[in-house]
Amino acid sequence: MRRFTEPAQDIDIIHETDVLVVGSGPGGLAAALSASRAGVKTTLVDRFGCFGGNITTVGVEGFAWYRHEQTVEANGIGREFEERAKEMGQPSRKARAYLTSWTAKGSN
């Protein structure tokens, strides 16, 4: 096995945490919320500087905005996100579908 030896050095500690979650997509947000609710000091970092991962930065449809008849609802964090979004005025799936088809036709 190859090895690399680094000379001893003093490094400033700029932050301490119990749980470090890297990536704030749906999985990262759920992990960070769960850890925090369990009472441990939790740090969430994301390379893009905003929450949501690809859902936010690229515009991929979110995990909590689906509603298919065969979906089994576990009433987890995804459902909580969905309910909070509704409270904040997030448009319904039907309204988003209408707006998407309307703007796709070039009607701004």
Q: What would the two tokens of residue 38 be?
A: 């369990």
| DSSP letter assigned to residue 76 | S
Q: Which domain holds residue 36?
A: 19-101
- How many domains does the structure of the chain reveal? 1
Flag whether 108 is in a domain.
no
Flag whether 2 is in a domain.
no
Flag whether 39 is in a domain.
yes
pLDDT tens-digit readout, 38-69: 999 999 998 887 777 777 777 666 554 555 66
Flag whether 31 is in a domain.
yes
pLDDT tens-digit readout, 69-86: 676 777 777 777 777 777
Flag whether 42 is in a domain.
yes
Q: What would the two tokens of residue 93 be?
A: 């799936």
Q: For residue 85, which phi and psi values (nearest 5 degrees)? A: -65, -40
pTM, entire model: 0.60
* Closest listed residue to residue 34, CA positions, set 21, 23, 45, 22: 21
Residues 6 or more apart whose CB falls under 8 angstroms from that of 40 comprise 18, 19
Angle at the Cα of 66 (from 60 to 92), degrees rounded to 5?
90
Residue 106 has pLDDT above 60, yes or no: no
Flag whether 3 is in a domain.
no
Higher pLDDT, 35 or 80: 35
